[in-house]
Every structure is written in C-alpha cells, then in structure tokens.
Amino acid sequence: MVVAASSAGTVFEWYDFFVFGSLAAIIGRHFFAGVGESQGYLLALLTFAAGFAVRPIGAIVFGWFGDRTGRKRTFLVTISVMGLATFLVAVLPGQAAIGPVAPFALVALRMLQGFAIGGEYGGAAIYVAEHTVARRRGLATSWIQSAAGFGLALALVVILVVRHALGEHAFVAWGWRVPFALSLVLLALSLWIRLKLEESPAFRRIEAAGALSRAPLSEAFLRGRNLRRVLVVLFGILAGQGVVWYTAQFYTQFFLERVLAVPSATVNGLLLVATLASAPLYLAFGWLSDRIGRKPVMLFGLGLAAVSFIPGFRWMAGAANPELVRASERAPVVVVAPPARCSLQFDLIGTARSVTGCDLAKSALADRGITYTNRAAPPGSPATILIGNERVASLAIGAGSGPALANRKAQFERRLAAALVAAGYPPVAARERIDIGATLAALMLFLVAATALYGPQAALLVELFPVRIRYTALSVPYHIGVGWFGGFLPATAFAIVAATGNIYAGLWYPVGVATLGFFVTLWFLPETLHDPATE
C-alpha cells in the first residue's frame, strides 16, 4: 500500500506531462494561433517547460512543510493541487474563444501544476524509503521510478484509443481534451489510497524525540556538509538524469515526428512498446544498486548516454526514414546568402519574425527537419537555396509584414517543398520502409541509459540527507536539476537545431550535461550503500 500510494502520484505526474508533450503541436494550434506552426509548436513546448520553471519554488515550500509537519499531510496537498490543475486544462477555452487570455491561462495552469509537483516526488521517495530497510531500499524506491514508465504508457494508450475512436479531425478539434479530463479518475484513486496511510515511522520517531528541524531551509543550504552534497547531486546525477530521461522519453518523440516525419500514430506505437519493455529495467537497476552500490549503476547510465546519444540518433534516423538520410547525402542543402542578412535562428520566446530571404529559407528548412549548411554570398545578393548543385529558390524579400509578406512566404514554401520532393526528400516517412526493429533498438538503447540512472536515484538521494531535513534537501536540487535542465530540453534542443541547421546539433546539450554529471559523480559523490548513517 505504501508503494502503491507513493507511485500513484508519479504515474499521475508523468501521465499528464507526457499527454501535454505528445499533444504540444495540437495545443499550439489552439492556444498560440497566428504565430505560425513552427513558432506555435515552440511556444507550446515552452508552456510545457513553464511547469518545470516553478518546481524548485514548490520544492522549497512543500519541503519545509514536509520536514515540519509530516510527509503524509504534505503530499496529500500536492497531489490534490496537481490533479485539479491538470483537469482544468481539459475545460480551458482556446484562443479562438477567449482571445489572448487563453495562452496566459494555460501557462498559469502549467505553473500551478509544476508548483505542486515540486513537493510530490520528494514526498513519495522519502515515504517509501522510510518504510524500507536499507538492504532493500534501492528495489523498493525503484517502483516509484518505474511508475514514471507506467504513466507514460498510460498516456500513450489513452491518446491512441481516443484518437482512433474519434478520428483525426475530431481529435485535433476537441478530442485532445479527453486525456486531460480522464486525469480526474487518477486523482480520485490516488487520494483514496493516500488517505488510508499513516505517517512514516522515521518522521514519527524524530517528532516524538523533539528532534524536528526548526529551520530546514537554512540547515539544508547554509551548512557546509549538507550544502556540498546538495551541489554534488545537483550537478552530478540530477542535472544528468533530467536531460538523459527527457531525451530518451520526450526528445525522441519530437525527433521522430518533426524531424524524421514519421506518422504520429506510428511514433506513439513505437514509444508505447519501448516504454513497456523498459519498465522492468527500473526495478532491475534498483535491485542491482542494492548489491553493488548506487554510484556504479548511475555512472553506467550517465556514461552510456554521453557516448550513445549522437550515434544512436543517427542510427535511428537511418532506420526510421532511410530515404531522408539518403537524400541529405545525395543532394545536400546549402543556404547561400550575405551573412549580414541572416539572423540567428534561436528564438526561445517566439517574437522573431523571418522577413529576409535568408531567414525565410532557414526557417522553412528547420520546419521540415532538413539539415543544411551555410555559404556566404556577396553583399546585396538574393538568398539562394541549393539542393545538390542546383539552385532551387532565389529570394529577394526585404523587410515587411502583413498579407503581402505572408503571400510571398507561402509561394516560396510551396516552391521549396516541390524542389525537395523532386530531389528525393520525402514529405513523410514511408511506413513500409521504416525498420521497426532497428528503431525500437535505438529507443531501448536510450532507455537503458535513462533507467540505469533513474532506478537507484531515490534510494541514493534519501540516504544522502538526514531525516530532519530530508524532504527539503532532496526536493530542491531534484527539481532544479530535473525541472530546469531536463524540462527545458525540448525547447532548447529545437532552438539549437533551428540555429545551426543540423538536425543532430540539439543533442550536444544533453551530451554535455551528461558528461559533466559523469565526472562530478565519479569524483565527488559518496557511495551511500552500507553507510551506517543511512541504516
């Protein structure tokens, strides 16, 4: 019952976040209309990330309450707020109905949910760990981590069933709201289970002894030994786990759908199979950490991610859309333009407007997931796109706005699309040419890294900090590392791809963070298994 109650919140959390991440393109059309498909998608991703931005604040608030008033009471509040915010997304009118209020309201709901989640994970991990003997703590707490996989699988199943039952047109129009509405069932079940539980034995002991911390925030973050451990886990395992897990579970979906043009239903099916297949790995790596230690298992996950992401995504591209890969090798795309007329294609807030020929060319290519390189042209020359060695689009569009510019952009994009097809670039990945086995193998490679890092994580975090400040000291770095480093990954990676023209360039962000995490963990993180202080 303890494991079920604690894991239910994790299922709920990841169900919602995967539903939102999977439907970001559709949500962007309803709440960010008028900025273009690419910018609307990016703004939807940033709304997705907004929930992560406030997680550390929630961790501070609920961590303090958890250390002062108890674990059970605190995570009853967190799951109630989280559940109601999720449900309200289902009934929130879109921009067409209430105008500019709609996107602000959507962001507010995401932030409210993120605030509540700031206290959810720490409470769940601590509650399970404080009911478990040390020799089984890795396996017991890994059920919470595996619940993330179950939440993702549930989200995929619901999306697939609703999409199939309603049809694509109805699903895009209003059916996307159904998965959010169904979260009310998860909320009722989670509350019913948690209300049956008692406070954790460890908290009751220090409460009876009068040993509760009077100032958990200052004790956790202003005392040398505790602060050092907070910083080590933040820049070691937690930032690394955030980017590795989100790359394996979320960026793969973006890459398959937006870059490789694999049909959404096929992507959802692939991710469902991979997620279900990887679910036992959380338990396996948690069990292994009870035998050989937390640190070596997590180092394996960080190291595997650092060395496998870029070659693994190249492998996945060749398996999922071989025609696209062959076309990019046979007829590489080059944007030839005066450098002064080319803006940096890095627009995280969605305010930039593509008005020069160079900007239009790069924006259109990034929208289609086409890799391109840049070549300087003499000042005053029109921007030109070369596919192979043939000039296919010459643009002499100056600054402007309104219908005239929109019409010129539409005409250019039609010419470009036709030229790409003529050069062998497929508009969508042909289902019959997708190597399902190889694509699944690539996804599983990424998920092995993620589960090795995530499975033992809760046990290690609980063992690093004393009971009296555990909720605060664990929750805050977790939600900075996972929430900020991981939560902003989709939008950051997408923007890097648009800025460089290289479809694999966005992967340098998770690879860099995972590499940093590997060496911080190797040099500074203590092993906590069999540490007498954690018994």
Query: Would you say 32 and 102 are in contact if contact means Cβ atoms under 8 Å apart?
Result: no
Torsion of CA 142, 484, 363, 427, to 10 degrees: 10
Q: How far is CA 519 from CA 233, 271, 385, in A?
A: 12, 30, 43
Q: What is the pLDDT of residue 443?
A: 96
Give the Cα separation of 16 and 51 in Å (integer). Answer: 11
CB atoms within 10 A of CB 388: 14
Global confidence as pTM: 0.82
Q: What is the number of residues in the chain?
A: 535
- Nearest CA among 106, 246, 89, 211 for reference residue 466: 211
Q: Where are the beta strands (DSSP E) in 20-157?
A: none
Query: Would you say 303 and 518 are in contact if contact means Cβ atoms under 8 Å apart?
Result: yes
Residue with tokens 């099916």: 269
Give the Cα separation of 215 and 220 in Å (integer). Answer: 9
Rg from Cα positions in the chain: 24
Q: Tokens for 54, please give them.
A: 């406030």
Residues facing residue 337 across a β-bridge: 376
Query: Would you say 158 and 20 are in contact if contact means Cβ atoms under 8 Å apart?
Result: no
Residues facing residue 333 across a β-bridge: 372, 387
pLDDT in tens, the chain (535 residues): 777 777 777 787 778 777 877 787 788 788 876 655 556 666 666 676 677 778 889 889 998 888 888 887 887 888 888 888 888 988 989 888 888 888 888 888 888 888 888 887 777 788 787 777 777 888 888 888 788 778 878 888 898 899 889 988 899 889 989 998 988 888 888 888 778 778 788 888 888 888 888 888 888 888 888 889 999 999 999 999 999 988 998 889 889 988 898 988 899 889 889 988 998 999 999 999 999 999 999 999 999 999 999 999 999 999 999 999 999 889 999 888 888 777 665 554 444 555 677 877 877 787 777 888 888 888 878 888 888 877 776 655 444 555 666 677 777 778 888 888 888 899 888 888 999 999 999 999 999 999 999 989 988 988 888 888 888 888 889 888 887 888 778 778 877 877 788 889 989 999 999 999 999 999 999 998 876 444 4
Q: How far is CA 375 from CA 336, 362, 397, 497, in A?
A: 5, 12, 18, 17
CB atoms within 10 A of CB 303: 19
Residue with tokens 């929930």: 51
> Can you list the domains of the chain with their CATH numbers?
2-321+431-534 (1.20.1250.20), 325-422 (3.40.30)
Q: Where are the beta strands (DSSP E) in 286-440?
A: 333-337, 372-376, 383-387, 390-395
